[in-house]
Structure 1
Amino acid sequence: MNDLPPWPYPRWIAHRGAGKLAPENTLAAFRLGAEHGYRMFECDAKLSQDGVVFLMHDATLARTTGMPGIGGDQPWTTLSQLDAGGWHSRRYAGEPLPTLAALARFCLANDYLLNIEIKPTPGTDAETGAAVAREAARLWAGTAVPPLLSSFRPDALAAARDAVPALPRALLLDTPRSDWLDLARQLGCVAIVCNHALWDAQTVADARAAGFRQLSYTVNDDWAAQRLIDLGTDGIITDRVDLFSPAA
């Protein structure tokens, strides 16, 4: 299958907003990524104790807020008061954790696109997958290009598929697995997002023949980006928004 359906997303995607230049998964990061010319962003979404979809990568709060405990165990009223920027630099001290709804408002107001990684708190894969899909469908209802949902967790992707079948999905892979194409088919995915080292001429050809777009994370070096471009892959997720021009 060489003629894939049209792909509405740009090649270059800013990781967690602006990579390491701003506190990840905050609105400040997405604004900075946009200032560098990026039109698509990747973010991590999980559930608060009371069911609010908010942005955070880690299960625990300590690294990016300084608070002990697990983010998914806290209600949104508590999470919304945390400082998610001070760990990065004084410039961003006081930057709050955003909800997915807040990021959606920013993206929709500026015609930006989004890859939402479903990042469940351990033990909540299905619940989180379904909730993120429903919230994304609500927020992007009636838009021309919906967000791309992705996850390392097959159960989360399956729940997202069952909740909102129309939203596009992508399987995330960090290490090789023999059933990767079959799993992506079972989950109704449109793309596979790999650790960039996993792509070579054969895996790209296999994915393309099976009807999947090919994306990579986290690509921070010129040589790695050029290799993926030469292979003809479709998307590059990078921290280096200051190095790679998405217009190039």
Structure 2
Amino acid sequence: MAELNPWPYPRWVAHRGAGKLAPENTLAAFRLGASHGYRMFECDAKLSADGVVFLMHDATLDRTTSGHGTGGAQPWSALAQLDAGGWHSRAYAGEPLPTLENLARFCRANGHLLNIEIKPTPGTERETGEVVAREAARLWKGAAVPPLLTSFQVESLKGAQAVQPGLPRGLLLDKLWDGWLEAARQLGCVAIVCNHALWDATVVALVHEAGMRALSYTVNDDWAAQRLIELGTDGIITDRVDLFPPAA
């Protein structure tokens, strides 16, 4: 059995800033999550057409901004003009899309930790992993605790591993596909981040025996959180920053 290394991250992680209480992946959401006591956040990072790392979950702009079409097909100068808050509520109208650099400044100034999900526009998996990892290394240079880089895309994690092998990586899973554990080993992952329903005692033991941590997304119910804690998992990503005290 591999020995588990010390884990510098808290158990509770705020999903996309403040879950659904504020427009996801905006600085307003991270500020709101912090106001509920959260010390660690999860965000989604992708590339603009001119290589700027910005925060957005979807491949297309339509759901969470005033824009239309593929976000990664537009330059940052155009993306920076979009309203990324009005879709959520009037109170957040005019909230801009942040860059990863914007969020890094906020996190480092306030002592917050970050899980960066590499969320590439289809067809840019390797490039996005490389650029996000380089930016993360630059923005967190000298930090006591670096950001945790995660992705569903193996190619993105390969890109991150190739250019910044010292940054911690985690493999995201929505199902336990054949060879997932060996892939995580080859990627040098420190964590597996699963849909919370996939964890059972056997899978947790497999991951811990491989020297990795067991994290879950997206947990919004008391019963689910309690089950994961009893299984001995190591981290819980939640939308319900208003329900789960992060010090618990």
Pairwise TM-score range, normalised by the shorter structure = over 0.9
2:120 aligns with 120
CA deviation map 1:158-178 (0-9, x unaligned): 000001000000000001212
Task: Classify 1:2/1:127 alpha carbon distance in 2 versus 1 (closer, same or farther; 3 Å).
Answer: closer
Mapping for residues 63-78 of structure 1, pairs under 5 Å: 63-78=63-78
1:109 aligns with 109
Q: Is there any run of 5+ residues in structure 2 with no aligned partner, and where?
A: none
1:49 aligns with 49
2:135 aligns with 135
2:212 aligns with 212
Q: Which amino acid aligns with 1:214?
A: A
2:232 aligns with 232
Q: Is there any run of 5+ residues in structure 1 with no aligned partner, and where?
A: none
SS in 1 for 2:63: helix
Take 2:62 and 2:187, find their aligned partners in 1: how far apart are those partners? 33
Mapping for residues 151-162 of structure 1, pairs under 5 Å: 151-162=151-162
Determine what percentage of the aligned residue pairs are the same residue: 77
Take 2:162 and 2:206, find their aligned partners in 1: how far apart are those partners? 26
Q: Which amino acid aligns with 1:186?
A: Q
**For this pair of structures, how many residues does the alignment match?**
248
Q: 1:241 and 2:238 equivalent?
A: no
2:222 aligns with 222
1:37 aligns with 37
Take 1:178 and 1:129, find their aligned partners in 2: how far apart are those partners? 23
Normalised by the length of structure 1, the TM-score is 0.99
Take 1:239 and 1:78, find their aligned partners in 2: how far apart are those partners? 29
Take 1:112 and 1:67, find their aligned partners in 2: how far apart are those partners? 30
Mapping for residues 95-106 of structure 1, pairs under 5 Å: 95-106=95-106
Q: Which amino acid aligns with 2:114?
A: L
SS in 1 for 2:18: coil
1:21 aligns with 21
Take 1:48 and 1:155, find their aligned partners in 2: how far apart are those partners? 18
* Structure 1 stretch displaced more, 65-74 or 159-168: 65-74
Take 1:230 and 1:239, find their aligned partners in 2: how far apart are those partners? 20
Normalised by the length of structure 2, the TM-score is 0.99
SS in 2 for 1:62: coil
CA deviation map 1:108-152 (0-9, x unaligned): 000000000000000000000000000000000011100000000
Instruction: Give how far 1:68 is off.
Output: 1.3
Take 1:102 and 1:70, find their aligned partners in 2: how far apart are those partners? 22
Q: Which amino acid aligns with 1:71?
A: G
Instruction: Give how far 1:210 is off.
Output: 0.8
Which consecutive aligned stretches of 4+ in structure 1 deviate over 3 angstroms post-superposition? Answer: none
Q: Which amino acid aligns with 2:135?
A: E
